């Protein structure tokens, strides 16, 4: 490589850097949108939500009363999985089956030995920066569906971050209003969405100090 061509690399590096920065700044790529980490137990949301019809609030039970949505205690899992063990017999026309994941759960929480229970180190997916206050209960009680922000969790075998969680994304609803029909779609409620088409969009305060303090 000649010395001339070596010097030519410097400005081209800067050009690439500037282009990449501008692209990333305006594409939302700086967020963790799309990340889908492997969890210590492959908790199947679809089975619990769609097959069994459980409400989100059964496990995330403070989402409608606290800023913190709440993560189910190990005891909440074991409320059912003490009886629903890893080995399922052939019933209802379904074949017999062994669940490796329920086995894992019961290694964290041996039945009948609560003093040996260990916490399950779930990997965090949705995280807002520490200078943001996000009160879950205000959103849930305003009728915002969980799926509006978290995506169709009921269909996710492994949960991923559906939205960018960038401030611009927040403000789309806070300024223009939250359209209930749009929120019901990812929840899989097409009939509800159609019925809610005429519902007035619901706006929210967008002053900085509502969330940043």
User: Residues 57-76: x/- map of binding to another protein (CB under 8 A)?
Assistant: -----x--xxxx-xxxxxxx
Residue 142 burial (CB count, 10 A): 12
Closest approach of another protein to the CB of residue 95, in Å: 32
Q: Is 25 in the site for another protein (CB under 8 A)?
A: yes
**C-alpha distances out from residue 164 to 34, 38, 58, 145, Å:** 8, 19, 26, 17
Q: Does 201 bind another protein (CB under 8 A)?
A: no
Give the count of residues interacting with another protein (CB under 8 A).
54
User: Which residue is it, tokens 């850097």?
Assistant: 17
**CA-angle at 82, arms to 38 and 95, nearest 5°:** 75
Give DSSP secondary structure letters for 191-206: HHHHHGGGSPPBP---
Annotate each residue in 109-148 with x if it binds another protein (CB under 8 A) or - if it does not, as one string.
x----x--xxxxxxxx--x-xxxxx-x-xx--x-------
Closest by Cα among 163, 177, 190 to 31: 163
Asked if 162 touches another protein (CB under 8 A), the answer is no
Summarize as ranges the residues that interact with another protein (CB under 8 A): 14, 17-18, 20-22, 24-25, 30, 32, 35, 37, 62, 65-68, 70-76, 109, 114, 117-124, 127, 129-133, 135, 137-138, 141, 203-210, 212-213
């Amino acid at each position: 490589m000649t010395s001339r061509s070596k010097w030519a690399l410097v400005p081209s590096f800067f050009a690439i850097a500037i282009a990449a920065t501008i692209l990333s700044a305006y594409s939302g790529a700086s967020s963790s949108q799309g990340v889908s980490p492997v969890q210590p137990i492959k908790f199947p949301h679809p089975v619990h939500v769609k097959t069994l019809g459980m409400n989100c609030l059964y496990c995330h039970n403070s989402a409608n009363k606290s800023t913190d949505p709440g993560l189910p205690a190990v005891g909440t899992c074991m409320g059912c999985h003490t009886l629903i063990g890893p080995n399922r017999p052939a019933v209802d026309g379904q074949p017999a089956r062994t669940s490796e994941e329920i086995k894992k759960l019961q290694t964290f929480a041996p039945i009948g030995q609560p003093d040996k229970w260990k916490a399950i180190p779930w990997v965090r997916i949705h995280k807002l920066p520490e200078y943001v206050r996000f009160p879950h209960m205000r959103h849930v009680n305003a009728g915002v569906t969980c799926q509006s922000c978290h995506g169709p969790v009921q269909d996710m075998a492994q949960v991923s971050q559906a939205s960018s969680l960038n401030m611009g994304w927040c403000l789309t609803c806070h300024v223009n209003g939250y359209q209930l029909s749009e929120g019901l779609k990812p929840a899989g409620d097409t009939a509800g969405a159609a019925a809610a088409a005429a519902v007035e969009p619901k706006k929210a305060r967008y002053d900085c100090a509502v969330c940043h303090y």
